[in-house]
Each structure stands twice: as structure tokens, then as C-alpha cells.
Amino acid sequence: MADENKFEQAKGNVKETVGNVADNKELEKEGKEDKNSGKAKEVVENAKDKANEVIDKFKK
């Protein structure tokens, strides 16, 4: 999952850059959205992992 989130961020970064260079505001906006979506998913995944670590400690 983490790789998918990093790929989504990278894809968004490329779209944003190409949109900026080509003066394509729609592509630039789409790139920003992809990048932010990937970051948000990564944060949620990290929080879920930390929560599972805490739960595992209490199970022992």
C-alpha cells in the first residue's frame, strides 16, 4: 500500500509540473489533487499501523 501512495504522489507531482509548464491549469489542479490524496492515504496508513502496534502491545 505504501508504494501505491508514493506512486500516486509522484504521479501527481509529474502532472502538476507538466500542467504548470504547459500552462494547463486543469492538469496542474489534477496533479495537486493526486499528490494530496496520496499524502492523505499515507498518513491514514501510518496512523493505522501505529494503532495496531499499540493494540499488539496490550495483547501481550
Domain boundaries, the chain: 24-59
pLDDT value at residue 59: 85
pLDDT value at residue 13: 96
Say if residue 12 is exposed, middle or buried (CB neighbours under 10 Å; 0-12, 13-18, 19+).
buried
pLDDT value at residue 36: 97
pLDDT value at residue 50: 95
Cell of 20: 504548470
Measured CA to CA, the distance from residue 33 to residue 55 in angstroms comes to 33
pLDDT value at residue 48: 95
CB 39 within 8 A of CB 27: no
Tell me the CB-side half-sphere exposure of residue 29, using CA atoms within 13 A.
3
- Name the H helices within 1-60: 2-21, 25-59
Q: Mean pLDDT of successive 10-residue segments in the chain (60 residues)? A: 89 96 97 96 95 90
